[in-house]
């Protein structure tokens, strides 16, 4: 099944952290085609303490036969390997943040995982890179395409293409 993962980093060498995360998630790809990888965007922090550094964000889509909880476990192991503490604040700065956005047509709600991601339609920093990959995708439980959801969001906080 096709699964998308949002990546974000705002601590340390953000670009290096994001590229390492993309490589690690990409290595989970089981399909005959390479992963789809969005452009990288620089994003103003959302709901963070004043002075929080800007994030770099991207989305990668892979093919996986893992059940969503098992895939989530692999993503958390990647975060930990990149230096993200297991006990972290909700909007705390991070070396690498990986969010499972969707896993095929799964609709799931548990204490550990909700699919599709419950705030995907509210986050420009997720929808903008996802629209690079799948603008016509309609997520389970929604009526609009990713591109249409993106046009419904305000332009703040800014999500701009990253220039190294």
13 classed as catalytic: no
Single out the catalytic residue among 84, 123, 128, 134: 84
Q: Which residues contact 77 (CB under 8 A, 6 or more apart)?
A: none
Active-site residue 2, yes or no?
A: no
Catalytic entry in 2, 47, 97, 134? 97
The catalytically annotated residue of 14, 94, 124, 134 is 94
Is 134 noted as a catalytic residue in this protein? no
What percent of the chain is helix, strand and coil (3-state, nearest 5)?
30, 25, 50
The partner residues of 145 in beta bridges, in order of sequence, read 138
Q: How far apart are CA 33 and CA 113, in angstroms?
A: 27
Cβ-based burial of 153 (10 A; exposed 0-12, middle 13-18, buried ≥19): middle
To the query of whether residue 87 is one of the catalytic residues in this protein, the response is no
Q: Which residues are catalytic?
A: 84, 94, 97, 99
């Amino acid at each position: 099944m096709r699964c998308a993962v949002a990546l974000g980093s705002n601590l340390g060498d953000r670009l290096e952290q994001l590229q390492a995360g993309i490589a690690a998630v990409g290595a989970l790809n089981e399909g005959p085609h390479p992963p789809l990888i969005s452009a990288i965007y620089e994003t103003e922090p959302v709901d963070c303490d004043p002075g929080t550094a800007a994030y770099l964000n991207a989305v990668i889509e892979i093919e996986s036969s893992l059940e969503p909880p098992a895939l989530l476990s692999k993503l958390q192991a990647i975060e930990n390997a990149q230096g993200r503490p297991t006990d972290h604040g909700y909007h705390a700065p991070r070396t690498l943040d990986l969010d499972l956005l969707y896993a095929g047509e799964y609709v799931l709600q548990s204490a550990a995982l909700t699919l599709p991601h419950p705030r995907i339609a509210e986050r420009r920093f997720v929808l903008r890179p996802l629209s690079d990959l799948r603008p016509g995708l309609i997520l389970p439980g929604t009526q609009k395409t990713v591109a249409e959801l993106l046009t419904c969001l305000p332009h703040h906080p800014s999500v701009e293409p990253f220039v190294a």
